[in-house]
A and B are shown apart, each in its own frame.
Chain A
Amino acid sequence: MTGRRVTVTSPQTRLAHARRRYRGRWRPTTLDPAEAPKAVALYRVQLRGAALALGLLLTLIFGLPLLLALWPQLVDVRVFGIPLAWLAPVLVPFPAMVALGFWHLRRAERAEDE
């Protein structure tokens, strides 16, 4: 009896062979399914928090130049002899960014602690 030779394998094995294998150092990341809901909740909270912090940051550092462009006469307003418009890019953004940074840090850590 002659004829074609056919592979006889269980469908499970065929599936396993068809699946791409990862060689070398890399392995797919494992996530414990018991932790998945927690991870999803954290992802959503942190995404919302990050979007809020970034929105505030962008409003601050893009809004301030806009204000200075709209009111060029701020150069003539002086505080202790220094033009107010010169103080604005130094004394406004830096304290505000420090405050924003620590505020976001606290919210992000609290979200993880819950």
Chain B
Amino acid sequence: MIVAFAVAPVVLVTLLIGLRGVAAMRTTSDFLVASRRVSPLLNSAAVSGEYLSAASFLGVAGLVVKDGVGSLWYPVGFTAGYIAMLALVAAPMRRSGALTVPDFAEARLASPSLRRLAAVVVLVIGALYLVPQFRTAGLVLSVVSGTPYWVGVAISGAAVSATLALGGMRAATYVQAFQFVFKLLLFIVPAIWLLVQAGPGVRDEAVHPVEFTHFDHDTEIVFRVGATLDVPDGALVVEPDGGTRPVPPGEWQVPAGSTVVFEDGSPVPELRGEAAPGAPGWERPLLDLHDEGYPLLGTWAVLIATMLGTMGLPHVIMRFHTSPDGRAARRTAALTVALLSVFYLFPGIYGVLGRVLVPHLYLSGATDSAVVALPAQVDDGSAGTLFTGLLTAGAFAAFLATSLGLLLVVSGAISHDLVPGGLRQLRVAVVGAAVTVVLLALPAARFDAGTLVTWGFTVAASTFCPLLVLGIWWRRLTAPGAIAGVAVGLVATAGAFLLTVSGPPVDGWLAILLVQPAPWSVPLAFATMIVVSLFGRPPPWSTAAMLRLHLHEHRPSPFADRSAVARDLGHSSWTARRSSAVRRITRRLVR
């Protein structure tokens, strides 16, 4: 029912707008960067639409419910990344004329192996980012409408790959710009409705957090993945026949796929390794990762990862290449900061209301669905259903828009950088990549979406961020240096993740630096790039290649007046443009 009313229109409009973009598409450039004719406002709406993924639409509010008010720092980092992008990357990157990040790497450093390595990094980031999108799509659909998990995954995979294979980037631009406006409305209007409808009692509870210790009504919890609970004395569950049954105190392994109804007034079991919503420390506006007792370090680590990661996200960078020139790319970044800032004023409202109304979601690890679960708690009539539908539609728009951009960049990496080919191959690559991601997402229901997405940011921060910043601002960067830095960043972050997942338990600040390796992996990647480059010798044209990126496009031609004043018009200008002449002049200027 909700699927029909909420998801179908989103998918349908996505497909229709996608079809509109099919017109006049002939080359790879048309497909990948919409022929570079997108205005700053449209482009920034598309960037924001692409960027506001499931992690922003659902994830932040869910993290506030689970971990506390400190989670509000995630959006700050997400937005701050665009300031860094505006200052360091946007305009020079666009002027390089490259289509993708691997393209840029090759254009600046002339190394095919760096290009292939960069393409592999794109695939890693793409997988870390795409799998949680599809997974959350499946999860949200199963929460609101009871469909099996795989249905949502399959629907989103089909819709995204069809739109892309037909329309490419031009379609994606319109679709994502439309979906930004759509998401903004579907996020703000329900937030205000919820605040009004919740009433003064709930609003007062929301700003006076207390620990979630007792159920205040009969609460049904669906465990889609298994959980280990520590049950206190006196916990009661309601049997299917209506009678109640006490749960033996101690450890309780709840199997995956079971449904438990706790009785009104029963004490709340504790989830192993997680503090309950509203517990002491919840109200502190700092991020204490894993409750290790280093809130400031945790907050800074997340800010570094999200801020620098945004600068290196390949699908965001690809969007900047659709601008007509460097100046438009810079304007796009500035406008994006403004658009995102409006959106990010609201996740906190869902978070603090969710702590009061749906704290039980933390037991089953389903706080990601807090946003769509809220309206039903406030109003059990048709208005509640309507707003659940609207929020589901918005969440689905979030999956689709982000997946569109990511899938495009992944298929671009495969068929533009790894195995160069034409437009037909690019379309085949899109479908192939979508099928692969759907297959990866099917067994991934138990992975936390927030963790995977943050890992994607961390990989981007430790690989592409140093590559782009040094490539644009440091003339002595060499190809071996760049390769070493990217490889070290990739290995360091992957190693930290593997240790977190399977390694020995550690605690204290070391645990934070393993869960969130950005504070050391990013400086390490920068240092490797610089040291290895200093041992080598940059090619003679490297200063010219770097300076070229900082020269804006629309300027009076220096040849027109010079030839009029000093030279005879028939003379060739090429002697003056010989690389040795350029080298001599730039050497005098850059010291």
Binding site for B on A (CB under 8 A): 22, 24, 26, 28-40, 42-43, 46-47, 49-50, 53-54, 57, 61-62, 65-66, 68-69, 72, 75, 78, 81-83, 85-86, 88-91, 93-95, 97-98, 100-102, 104-105, 108-109, 112
A69 pairs with B548, CB closer than 8 A: no
Among B265-273, B334-342, B490-498, which stretch is in contact with chain A? B334-342
B581 pairs with A86, CB closer than 8 A: no
How many B residues face the partner with a CB closer than 8 A? Answer: 67
Given contacts A42-B550, A94-B341, A94-B345, contact A68 B86 (CB under 8 A): no
Set of chain B residues within 8 Å of A30, measured between Cβ atoms: 544, 548, 577, 579, 582
Give the contacting residue for B579; candidates A28, A82, A101, A108; CB below 8 A. A28
Set of chain A residues within 8 Å of B73, measured between Cβ atoms: 65, 89
A22 pairs with B110, CB closer than 8 A: yes
A47 pairs with B577, CB closer than 8 A: no
Number of A-B contacts (CB under 8 A): 182
**Separation of A61 and B300 alpha carbons in the complex (Å):** 9
Tell me if B77 counts as interface (CB < 8 A to partner A): yes
Tell me if B91 counts as interface (CB < 8 A to partner A): yes
A53 pairs with B83, CB closer than 8 A: yes
Give the contacting residue for B586; candidates A40, A75, A102; CB below 8 A. A40
Given contacts A29-B541, A97-B79, contact A54 B91 (CB under 8 A): no
Among B5-13, B325-333, B435-443, B522-530, which stretch is in contact with chain A? B325-333
Set of chain B residues within 8 Å of A61, measured between Cβ atoms: 76-77, 80, 303, 307
Among B29-37, B49-57, B283-291, B501-509, which stretch is in contact with chain A? B283-291
Query: What are the 7 closest A-B residue pairs judged by CB atoms, nearest first?
Result: A34-B558, A94-B341, A50-B87, A31-B544, A39-B547, A29-B545, A101-B337
Set of chain A residues within 8 Å of B334, measured between Cβ atoms: 101-102, 104-105
Chief secondary structure at chain B's binding surface: helix
Give the contacting residue for A33; candidates B112, B295, B345, B576; CB below 8 A. B576
Can you list 9 A-B contacts with CB-CB less than 8 angstroms, sorted by A residue number?
A: A31-B551, A36-B586, A36-B589, A50-B88, A53-B86, A61-B76, A81-B207, A83-B207, A101-B86
Contacts A93-B76, A105-B331 aside, 9 further interface pairs with beta carbons under 8 A come to A30-B548, A31-B544, A31-B548, A42-B550, A50-B87, A57-B87, A61-B80, A61-B303, A104-B86
**Separation of A54 and B107 alpha carbons in the complex (Å):** 26
Give the contacting residue for B79; candidates A24, A94, A105; CB below 8 A. A94
| Closest B residue, CB atoms, query A94 | B341
B204 pairs with A112, CB closer than 8 A: no
Docked complex: B213-271 residues within 8 A CB-CB of A = none
**Separation of A26 and B299 alpha carbons in the complex (Å):** 43
B88 to chain A, nearest CB (A): 5
A26 pairs with B285, CB closer than 8 A: no
A97 pairs with B83, CB closer than 8 A: yes
**Separation of A105 and B110 alpha carbons in the complex (Å):** 31
Tell me if B483 counts as interface (CB < 8 A to partner A): no
B576 pairs with A69, CB closer than 8 A: no
B551 pairs with A86, CB closer than 8 A: no
**Separation of A94 and B585 alpha carbons in the complex (Å):** 44
B548 pairs with A86, CB closer than 8 A: no
Docked complex: B131-179 residues within 8 A CB-CB of A = none
Set of chain B residues within 8 Å of A40, measured between Cβ atoms: 547, 586, 589-590
Tell me if B296 counts as interface (CB < 8 A to partner A): yes
B80 pairs with A97, CB closer than 8 A: yes
Tell me if B41 counts as interface (CB < 8 A to partner A): no
Set of chain A residues within 8 Å of B544, measured between Cβ atoms: 28-31, 36
Tell me if B410 counts as interface (CB < 8 A to partner A): no
